[in-house]
Homo-oligomer: A and B are copies of this chain.
Amino acid sequence: MSKEKILTAAKEEFAEFGLSGARVSRIAEKAGINKAMLFYYFSSKENLYKSVLRQTILGLMSQIKKILTPDLKASEFFEKMPEIYINYFSKNKDFIKIMGRELINDGKHYKAIIRETLEEDGRLTPSGIKELINKWIKNGEIKEESQFNMMMNIVSLSLFSFIGKPIAENILDINIKEDEIFYKNRIESISNLLKRGMLK
């Protein structure tokens, strides 16, 4: 109960301010609990951060897993990946901010959590994806020959839609509203690019 409230408040706080910018007292206040409880449950600010990050990562993974079926076709993959990512993130902005900051910090905690979680839960990674991509490459379904580059392209386009907007706006000297239509357009643009650019 209290633990949940702390996690929720912490997610908000870490998203907005990052690990070092976050304030334990602010988290406690948001959660409506005594500051000491936070340490009672999580023993340190950093540990709380890790717990939040763990949730975030598991959320990300579960999104990816959702679309993976053994007979998935490349064309579907290029349609569904951006759609799922962008829809999910547009509703979970904290999520992407936390991940973003984490990645910029060289993913130190991210990697640690992945390691820990693997030890506990066995497979966290959607192991199927690797084989799927390899199949598509061998099948001749797609042009891109490196599974890594392919994955980078997909992920980049999806996640960066939530971060890179100000840069594109500035370059073009325009202002784009971030609404339903914006996301719909991004999804379409990305999946077109992926399909046209990587399908054979």
Contacts and interface: CB of A to CB of B under 8 A. Distances in A.
Nearest to A160: B156
A143 B157 CA distance: 17
Interface of A: 17-21, 60, 64, 97, 99-101, 103-104, 106-107, 110-111, 114, 125-127, 129-130, 133, 143-144, 146-153, 155-157, 159-161, 163-174, 176, 185-186, 189-190, 192-198
Contact of A196 (B19, B103, B143, B169): B143
Task: Work out how many copies of this chain go into the complex.
Answer: 4
B155 A160 contact: yes
Contact of A21 (B18, B97, B130): B18
Contacts of A103: 100, 163-164, 166-167
Contact of A168 (B148, B165, B195): B148
A164 B155 contact: yes
Given A100-B103, A156-B156, 6 more contacts: A17-B20, A103-B164, A146-B185, A156-B157, A156-B159, A194-B197
